[in-house]
Structure 1
Amino acid sequence: MAKSLKDRLFELNNLNLSREDKTQYLAKALKDKSNILLANVARIIAREDIKDLETELIASFERLLNNALKTDPSCAAKTAILEALISLDSQEHELYLKAIKYIQLEPVFGGKEDTAVKLRVLAAQGLIKSNYYGVVNELAALLADKEIQARAAAIWALSNCNSLAAVPLLRYKAMLGDNSSRVLSACFDSLLLLEPNDSLAFVADFLDNKSIMTAETAALSLGQARHEASLGYLKNSLEKAIDKDFQKTIITAIAILRNEPAIDYLFEVIENQEIYADEAIIALKSFGDKDILDRLEQIQ
């Protein structure tokens, strides 16, 4: 009588074998039809750093691409296998290139859902880690992915690929815009990290963007960058801002700078009883600093 999946999983997770015997056992297990078991096998291989099974992992991944909705729903096994290959420092570029373009649409209530998003994200990481020569071209395509997580991952990968093309691509993406603050934030943050001096004015230009979401994202990125010159851009934008929510965001961004000029400016806002003074008080209190709290008490 064939063992149930539950029994096979229990056996898999309670192996008491020598390294050689365990490797042979796992190699055989990688031919199993259950994607749940395959995912567990891949995680064990990664955890125990069994590099001898790289070829078997690749073969299992390729097999799961056939009739994928049936053999690997939710991409559970393919995702675990790709994670294992990256962990093992695999240089299998062809597999990463397949994965970064792979889409698996599965039926959900009201339509279909792409369950391969994480797979594309991992593929980008794999191409970066393995120093693939054409990685920038692949990441440029991923920047246009329909899924937010994939676009954000492309930006992360570009910021880590050590390519001269990264900054121009990130600038282009920023100018194209995005309907996700997460993606824009990743873009602005990466630019300010890669080229802080040259990117400061570029990101600050977005403070005047017609989209409040874009302007707020730029403000917060300037604050998080904690560049000395950020305060000037944020102050100038605050003086022109009409939208109350945007004013609040700029005050928050100034507070995030956490340097003496920024703190002094927030106190100045309070002392001059500016219309956004209440927001400045809240921002300063969030520091939880005794000296700042004492100073607040003296002027209130």
Structure 2
Amino acid sequence: MAKRDRTLEALERLAEAVTDPHAPAARAALSKALGARSNLVVAAALEVICEHELSGFEASMRAAFDKAMTDPVRTDPGCRTKVGVVKALDLLSEPADELFLAAVRHVQPEPVWGGSQDSAVALRGMAAMALVNRRNPEAMIELARLLADPEREARRMAADAVAASGDVAAGVPLLILRIRAGDPEPEVLGACFAALLALDAADTFGFVVEHLRGRDELVVEAAALALGQERPAGALAALRAFVESTLLEPRRVGLLAIAMLRTEEAWAYLLELVAEAPEGLARGAIEALGVYRELGDLAARAREAAAGRADGGAGLERSLAEHL
């Protein structure tokens, strides 16, 4: 209890000292906090540095990182210090490539009920993005490793970093390989498809659309949502063809992807389905339009389309009430 009280007191003193973060007293308090035993105090100081983009603490931050890498489960549970240092150094555009390379490979299993849990997942992803931001020559190599990371979030963050790299020559093959190898997590597949389109939509569009015709529903859904998210040319036509050629569950995701395009043409198509399609498909279109229920005009148009049906939209009343 006493230890927790000392930590709380240190946090309170730091908060009081940094009311004016640019004052000399605040800088002295931040320097002291970066050397604190508690990683909660160190992390709080790093948050202030990031929030106000304060320079001049690079040496202290590196020292805090090195300390946190020594017996890390004890000195930095949850990787709070290491994550904060990577975030701050990247934000401040400091030349810290060696530190980022150490962070991107760091694994920190910590005991939890029933086993252990890696607390360094976000750290690896953030360090990878920092390497990309620096155009480090080893960045794509590290991203290749991270795309095969055991942890889902690390793989997803790796895909985002590949997209941010702008490196078509290296990034596209890596993402295609990840997709072809398969992934049990649709979130990862979706990030990979989206990254492909972000890198080179013209040349990868066909590859993504090809997966709308796959047998694995998770892959189909990931490809559809990526088209909706990235909105490449031709996405509406491809998604329409997909919706109109399947009766399977992914059709609902296809309708949602069409809504995500956020174009009048896409919304007009969904409204047309509400007005004329069989009830099951019309209900799916209403559900997709429900994403924009705050847009009163669109909701009104959907109700008007339903009212124009032969039965006056009686079969769609519940869907309209639930989603719009």
Indicate the SS of the match to 1:52: coil
Partner of 1:4: 6
For residues 252 and 214 of structure 1, the distance between their equivalents in structure 2, rounded to whole angstroms, comes to 16
For residues 235 and 34 of structure 2, the distance between their equivalents in structure 1, rounded to whole angstroms, comes to 53
Contact 1:231–1:254 (8 Å) recurs in 2: yes
Partner of 1:235: 240
Report matched runs for 1:138-217 at 5 Å: 138-164=142-168, 165-217=170-222
Q: Give CA-to-partner distance per residue, 1:1-50, whole Å, 9 cap, x none.
A: x9922222222221178744543443333222221111122223333433
Q: Give CA-to-partner distance per residue, 1:213-246, whole Å, 9 cap, x none.
A: 1111212222333345223322333344242x12
Indicate the SS of the match to 1:159: helix
Contact 2:11–2:41 (8 Å) recurs in 1: yes
Q: 1:8 to 1:236 in 2, by over 3 A?
A: closer
Contact 1:35–1:71 (8 Å) recurs in 2: yes
The one-letter amino acid paired with 1:221 is: A
For residues 130 and 283 of structure 1, the distance between their equivalents in structure 2, rounded to whole angstroms, comes to 40
For residues 96 and 54 of structure 1, the distance between their equivalents in structure 2, rounded to whole angstroms, comes to 14
Q: Which runs of 5+ in 2 are unaligned?
A: 313-324
Q: Which runs of 5+ in 1 are unaligned?
A: none
Indicate the SS of the match to 1:179: coil
Contact 1:23–1:50 (8 Å) recurs in 2: no
Partner of 1:14: 16
Q: 1:256 to 1:8 in 2, by over 3 A?
A: closer
Instruction: Pick which of 43-52 and 148-157 moved more.
Output: 43-52
Indicate the SS of the match to 1:26: helix
Q: Which of 245, 254, 260 lines up with 2:258 in the alignment?
A: 254
Q: 1:10 to 1:211 in 2, by over 3 A?
A: same
Indicate whether 1:103 and 2:110 are aligned: no
Q: Which of 229, 238, 245 lines up with 1:224 in the alignment?
A: 229
Indicate whether 1:55 and 2:91 are aligned: no
For the aligned residue pairs, the C-alpha RMSD in angstroms reads: 2.6
Report matched runs for 1:13-52 at 5 Å: 13-15=15-17, 19-52=23-56
For residues 194 and 123 of structure 1, the distance between their equivalents in structure 2, rounded to whole angstroms, comes to 20
The one-letter amino acid paired with 1:64 is: A
Partner of 2:119: 115
Q: How many residues in Structure 1 have an aligned counterpart in Structure 2?
A: 298
Instruction: Pick which of 251-260 and 128-137 moved more.
Output: 251-260
For residues 277 and 50 of structure 1, the distance between their equivalents in structure 2, rounded to whole angstroms, comes to 54
Identity of aligned residues (%): 33
Instruction: Pick which of 63-72 and 225-234 moved more.
Output: 225-234
The one-letter amino acid paired with 2:112 is: V
Indicate the SS of the match to 1:14: helix
Indicate the SS of the match to 1:132: coil
For residues 251 and 29 of structure 2, the distance between their equivalents in structure 1, rounded to whole angstroms, comes to 62
Contact 2:228–2:235 (8 Å) recurs in 1: yes
Q: Give CA-to-partner distance per residue, 1:166-202, whole Å, 9 cap, x none.
A: 2222222222221111111111112222222222211
Query: What is the CA distance between 1:285 and its match in structure 2?
Result: 6.3
Instruction: Pick which of 70-79 and 53-62 moved more.
Output: 70-79
The one-letter amino acid paired with 2:176 is: R
The one-letter amino acid paired with 1:298 is: G
TM-score (norm 2): 0.82
